[in-house]
Structure 1
């Protein structure tokens, strides 16, 4: 499960060192950059007649009710942005943290998707498929999942009582003594609860 908050960086993608980040040349607001990503993904996936591409814009910015990043917040220390969506039944991911401002990283992703739409319009289909090969979202072996994903709670849940309740429900399912349960699943679940308690207490 991909989380919109906090930032879930694609597994296996290198990060830009903080001291290597640059000032962007984009003249764009946060709201416009966010909306540009949504528009470009929808156009790439077939416009308004396409099936829902399940867009997730993952950042360290809090969320609106519809799950998109909320404008007008303090800039986070980590300006990275990762965008996930479904294209032709494949999970795709684009990520950028080259620029110092989060809206510039979002606009860079929107411009990249716009360029790929140009390949689709003016190139051949195999060129677009080849270009997309590097953007397919694949979990890396042994990647540590965020505790919210393991326990199964969204970013709006901050109450430890509710989190512990969901933990107990999942522990009953994944216990090694139950059919389908395993020691690995319980170890991951226990580590997730510990991480949640550390973060929220």
Structure 2
């Protein structure tokens, strides 16, 4: 299940390394309204319902320039789970406004092309389920201290390692979970 917090980012799209200020002059409330309006208009124009909308981020209320301003909008359209993630800009408002423009581009395709064209362009946004949170992978709470993170990692590595009957994929997922947990615990 996709969550609003923490950010559920699709594994198929890499995160931005360098974020720009952007030229948008839209407030967070305005950008949220624009995304919601675009989703409703897209649903109406396409004749296909948009449902299960989740705006996912790592942002706390009131933080203007968070360390991670990325936003992912998840929804179901035409029977497929779609995710439009943007973290190109330094603020959540700018990233939401960019998502609004991506949705408006799909509406333009719909007006000047066909529903088949829009379905084809949305194939790049078809969302695989987000990876599990590191706490699930390690089997510990989200507020676990570093020592517990390392202990849980070592215990699970005994079974996940390829030499112990696990797999390279299982060990890679475990390593990634430990790295993110240690980063989050700083």
**Structure 1 residue aligned with 2:51:** 53
Contact 1:3/1:149 (8 A) holds in 2 = no
- Return closer, same or farther for 1:148/1:25 CA change in 2, 3 Å cut-off: same
Contact 1:58/1:81 (8 A) holds in 2 = yes
**Structure 2 residue aligned with 1:22:** 20
Query: 2: CA distance between counterparts of 1:12 and 1:126?
Result: 23
Contact 1:38/1:55 (8 A) holds in 2 = no
Are 1:132 and 2:122 matched, yes or no?
Answer: yes
Contact 1:10/1:95 (8 A) holds in 2 = yes
Gaps of 5+ in 2: 145-172
**Structure 2 residue aligned with 1:119:** 109
Query: 2: CA distance between counterparts of 1:133 and 1:85?
Result: 14
The match for 1:88 among 50, 63, 78 is 78
3-state SS of the aligned residue for 1:43? helix
User: What's the RMSD between the two structures over aligned residues?
Assistant: 3.6
CA apart distance, 1:149: 7.3
Are 1:146 and 2:136 matched, yes or no?
Answer: no
Gaps of 5+ in 1: 63-69, 151-157, 161-187
Give the count of matched residue pairs: 157
- Return closer, same or farther for 1:144/1:10 CA change in 2, 3 Å cut-off: closer
Query: 2: CA distance between counterparts of 1:34 and 1:89?
Result: 24
**Structure 2 residue aligned with 1:11:** 11
Contact 2:59/2:69 (8 A) holds in 1 = no
Contact 2:51/2:76 (8 A) holds in 1 = yes
**TM-score, reference length from structure 1:** 0.63
CA apart distance, 1:120: 1.1
Query: 2: CA distance between counterparts of 1:10 and 1:34?
Result: 20
C-alpha deviations, 1:19-72, integer Å up to 9, x for none?
Answer: xx111011100111112111111221227x96561111111124xxxxxxx5x3
The match for 2:99 among 105, 109, 113 is 109
3-state SS of the aligned residue for 2:35? helix
Contact 2:53/2:74 (8 A) holds in 1 = yes
